Each structure stands twice: as C-alpha cells, then as structure tokens.
Amino acid sequence: MSEKLQKLLASQGWILADGATGTSLFDMGLEAGEAPEIWNEKYPKRILTLYQGAVNAGSDLFLTNSFGGNASRLKLHGAEKRARELSRISAEIGRDVADKADRNVIVAGSMGPTGDIMEPVGSLSHRVAVEIFEEQASGLIEGGADLLWVETISAPEEFAAASEAIGKTGASWCGTMSFDTAGRTMMGVTSLDMVNMVASLPYQPIAFGANCGVGASDLLRTVLGMKAPNPKHPIIAKGNAGIPKFVDGSIHYDGTPDLMAQYAVLARNCGASIIGGCCGTMPEHLAAMRHSLETQPIGRQPNLAEISAVLGDFSSVGDGTGEQSEVRRPRRRRT
C-alpha cells in the first residue's frame, strides 16, 4: 500500500478525496468539446488553482487533470502522440501543490476509460489497451504522482487491462467503476461482480469502489453491496453532488454543501474509507464534507430507507444483487 495513504488511513480512519474536475474547469472557461488535458500546458495556473482549491478545502487526496489523457481519447483532438507528455505535466503541477501543503497530500494520477469498446464486442484488443494505459501511467509516474487512479470504468475487460498495464510499472493504484444503469455499469457489472473481479486480478488495487453514476443514494447502495462480502481492500465512494439539471443553457447539480456533508458521513458509515465527490462537487462541498467527517462520530451502517430519506430516491428499484433488488422505490426528500 502507498505509504502516504496507509498513514492517513491509520491516523484518521478515512481519507477525503477531491471533487469535480470537469465542473470546475468549465467554470474556468473550458469549452464543450475542448480537451481538458491540453490545459495542463496551455493554462497551468488554472490547473494549479483547481488542485489548490481541493487542498484548501481539506482534501487529503486529489486527482490529476488527466482523465482523458490516453492516446485513444486524445486522438479526437489530434494529440494522441502527446499522451505521456500531457499526463506527466498534469502530475508535475500536482506534485508542486502537494509538496507546498502543510500536511501530507496524495497526488493521484487519474486514468479514465479509452472511449473504445473492447473485444469481442468492440475492436479494441487487450494488448493495445494495455499499451495505451501503460503509456499514460508512465507519464503520470514521471510527473511525480504518488499513485495511479483508474476511474469511471464500465467494462471488466478494460479494468483488467489497466491493472495489467499498471502492474508493468510497479505503481500502487486505486480503481473505480461507474454504476449508472439500475445499479450496474453500462456493461452490466454489479457491485458484487466488481468485488469478485478485483479479487481475481494478478495485480490488485490498494482500494476500489464507485464514482459518478446517477446520484449519491445509488452510489451508497453500491458501496453497501461492495462492503457486504468484506473485501480486504479499502472501499472508495466518490458520488455526484446531487442530480444534474439543465439550467440557462448549462448543467448544474442540485446537491448542496449540507447534503454532501451528510453524504460523506453516510458513506463512512456504509463502509467507505476513501470519500470524495464527483460531478458538481466544488470546494464548498468538500469543506462541508471535511467538517462533518471530523466532527461526526462513526455510526452504525444505514439501511436503504435511511439513505434515501437523507439523500433522495434511488433511480431504480434494485441494483441486481440479492435482497436489495426487491427494495421498493421510496419517496424523494426535497433538498
């Protein structure tokens, strides 16, 4: 396990991760269709501001601006040959912010999906996927990332390819999948499927869990599903700040700082030990989450009705696992 992550978990019992990268960059002027990773070179001060905002709000760990920094995704912008370079720069900026902090802060090198569908359904082969992930991983390590963070994956084949690629580098890593289709990933993976998959990997992550998806309620139901088999690795919860709504020509999330503060405590009570936000989660949300985690004692594990009463309805009746698939849809609490 990464030494910094291990020490933080031992001393605090939990780690506060960061919030939204995309939402923050759009607020800074990123245009739809523009590659955020090119900003690492074009506007490094803005990326530094992004990272610093998370640290100032209390995050113990933040992700680099490299989610779409692999060759497959960058090919859409004619920058596929710059995958390693742009990822390295994203980590270098992060390293500068973390080293100047007055406490231990972890720089996690973000690695998102390739955007391609893997064989046999699609055309992306395992070998090429491994090469793509290894190239990006190498750049992030060169830039000074403390560990690598594979996120928003839907297909088990792609998760396995990322695992193999990172194994070639010897780096520590964490991995999350996005459960957005009735408690499953787009490719049908359930929370229990992910637990079993992680246990079968030759090069396993030091922590795994869920990010993004539909809303915070659904994500915590997934966390409960992952915790039930009692996996040996820490669980990650990185939920969206409420539900996205289209307002005045742009997407806004309706989760308030108070709601996310309650989500953070519920996530910890559900068994997550690395807790952060995803889309819509801004520094003000993170500050509220930090305060709640520091001031609220650990409580008993909540049931689904208690989660929905605080965070709102689940988007589906069940998540495809066990008795939870029979839980009826509760009424949504107004936030």
Helix (H) or strand (E) holding 244: strand 244-247
Q: How far apart are CA 235 and CA 62, in angstroms?
A: 16
DSSP helix/strand/coil, 11: helix
Task: Of 199, 196, 191, 282, give the one whose Cα is nearest residue 237.
Answer: 191
Residue length of the chain: 335
Q: How far apart are CA 318 and CA 279, in angstroms?
A: 23
- The one-digit pLDDT tens for each residue of the chain (335 residues) are 478 899 999 999 999 999 999 999 999 999 989 999 999 999 999 999 999 999 999 999 999 999 999 999 999 999 999 999 999 999 999 999 999 999 999 999 999 999 999 999 999 999 999 999 999 999 999 999 999 999 999 999 999 999 999 999 999 999 999 999 899 999 999 999 999 999 999 999 999 999 999 889 999 999 999 999 988 899 999 999 987 776 766 667 888 999 999 999 999 999 999 999 999 999 999 999 999 999 999 999 999 999 999 999 999 998 878 654 443 333 333 33
- What residue ranges define each of the domains in the chain, with the CATH number in brackets? 3-326 (3.20.20.330)
Q: Give me the pLDDT at residue 249, please.
A: 65
Kindly give the residue spans of alpha helices, DSSP state H, lying in the chain: 3-12, 22-27, 39-42, 44-57, 71-74, 83-99, 126-143, 156-169, 191-200, 216-227, 257-270, 283-295, 304-311
